[in-house]
């Protein structure tokens, strides 16, 4: 079994990016600037944003954290998004999801200028992705592709089974891996909560991508010997032996599955660090595109 080390891969990419950003700034450009918007006080969202801001600092990018009360109205939030769209100092921004129930997430995403949509969630970016045009790709699927690339995992002609059809992970990664591109050319099956005979399908997977949000759902009897496993889940599991009272587990029963897989991502330290790094990559990408540098 070989570990797919997301932390190490993310460090390699961030170190390269740091050098590129230094050169960019030395050549007279302003520092790329990412803003992260949090609405309300979701503890997990706050922690994700902290990691995103820290990564900006690591690569020499500017960042802003913009916090709104959970009671902000949808109209007010749309006005704030307009301000970020027209602020020339902000190159890219994200609105951390989920937003409170009274706010329509789709309306928010569609209001973001696609050129500043470094999450790659706007229909313009998703449409370009569909067509194989240059686009800001959703960060988690982008991170999964980069993990496969950096670990020289052959995808061409392989059967990839994706569990979960979310707009953020399952649906876009299934499209990206089926495309005619260097990390791609897979035969993809997208399975979800209504899929019948799930185990029959997962047993066919050369590459299994799991993004369900169900702790330790995938057991060893569900996978083929030497399968490549990408675990996108981050779930809290009660653990009185830990100071925090819980530990993080993925959607795959790692301990039970690890010896059967050829490659596997750990949780934490697998896909998570790559999502953050690809957000940063997208921010620098949009800066260069907008300057006509690429
Ligand atoms: N919530 C969970 N993942 C993400 C992400 O990648 N971006 C944003 N904006 N919110 C999220």
Average pLDDT on 219-230 reads 98
Catalytic residue among 52, 116, 117, 251: 52
Q: Is the pLDDT of residue 294 over 80?
A: no
Mean pLDDT score across all residues of the chain:
97
- pLDDT, one tens digit per residue, over 86-96 is 999 999 999 99
| Tens of pLDDT, residues 148-186 | 999 999 999 999 999 999 999 999 999 999 999 999 999
Residue of 5, 14, 91, 96 marked active site: 96
Class of residue 28 by CB neighbours under 10 A (exposed 0-12, middle 13-18, buried 19+):
exposed
Q: Diameter of the chain by CA atoms?
A: 58
Q: How far is the CA of 226 from the centre of ligand 1 (A)?
A: 31
**pLDDT tens per residue, range 3-59:** 999 999 999 999 999 999 999 999 999 999 999 999 999 999 999 999 999 999 999
CA of 96 to the centre of ligand 1 (A): 5
**What residue's CA is closest to ligand 1, atom 3?**
97
Structure token pair of residue 184: 């791609």
Tell me what pLDDT residue 32 has: 98
- Residues within 6 Å of ligand 1 by CB: 94-97, 119, 139-140, 168, 275
Q: What is the pTM of this model?
A: 0.96
pLDDT of residue 31: 98
Nearest CA to ligand 1 atom 9: 96
Q: Report the pLDDT value the prediction gives residue 293, as an integer from 0 to 100.
A: 83
Catalytic residue list contains 256: no
Q: Please state, in angstroms and rounded to a whole number, the distance separating the CA atoms of residues 131 and 206.
A: 25
Which atom of ligand 1 is closest in space to residue 275's alpha carbon?
6
| Residue 119 is a catalytic residue | yes
pLDDT in the model for residue 80: 98
Instruction: Find residue 248's DSSP bridge partners.
Output: 236
% of the chain exceeding 90 in pLDDT: 99
Spell out the domains of the chain, with CATH numbers in brackets: 29-114 (3.40.50.10860), 139-272 (3.40.50.720)
Answer yes or no: 96 catalytic: yes
pLDDT of 258-278, one tens digit each?
999 999 999 999 999 999 999
């Amino acid at each position: 079994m070989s570990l797919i080390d997301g932390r190490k891969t993310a460090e390699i990419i961030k170190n390269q990016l740091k050098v590129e950003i230094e050169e960019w700034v030395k050549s007279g450009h302003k520092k790329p600037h990412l803003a992260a918007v949090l609405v309300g006080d979701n503890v997990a969202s706050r922690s994700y944003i902290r990691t995103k801001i820290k990564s900006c600092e690591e690569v020499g990018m500017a960042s802003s954290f913009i916090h709104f009360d959970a009671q902000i109205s949808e109209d007010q939030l749309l006005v704030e998004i307009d301000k970020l769209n027209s602020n020339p100092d902000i190159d890219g921004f994200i609105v951390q999801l989920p937003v409170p129930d009274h706010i329509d997430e789709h309306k928010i995403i569609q209001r973001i200028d696609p050129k500043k949509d470094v999450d790659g969630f706007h229909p313009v970016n998703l449409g370009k992705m569909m067509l194989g045009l240059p686009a800001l790709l959703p960060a988690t699927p982008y991170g999964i592709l980069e993990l496969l690339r950096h670990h020289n995992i052959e995808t061409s002609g392989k059967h990839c089974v994706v569990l979960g059809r979310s707009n953020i992970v399952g649906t876009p990664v299934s499209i990206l891996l089926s495309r005619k591109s260097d990390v791609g050319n897979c035969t993809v099956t997208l399975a979800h909560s209504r899929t019948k005979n799930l185990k029959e399908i997962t047993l066919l997977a050369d590459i299994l991508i799991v993004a369900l949000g169900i702790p330790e759902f995938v057991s060893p009897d569900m996978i083929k010997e030497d399968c490549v496993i990408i675990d996108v889940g981050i779930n809290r599991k009660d653990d009185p032996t830990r100071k925090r009272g819980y530990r993080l587990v993925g959607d795959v029963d790692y301990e039970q599955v690890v010896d059967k897989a050829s490659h596997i991502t750990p949780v934490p330290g697998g896909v998570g660090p790559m999502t953050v790094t690809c957000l940063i990559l997208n921010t620098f990408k949009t800066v260069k595109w907008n300057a006509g540098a690429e």
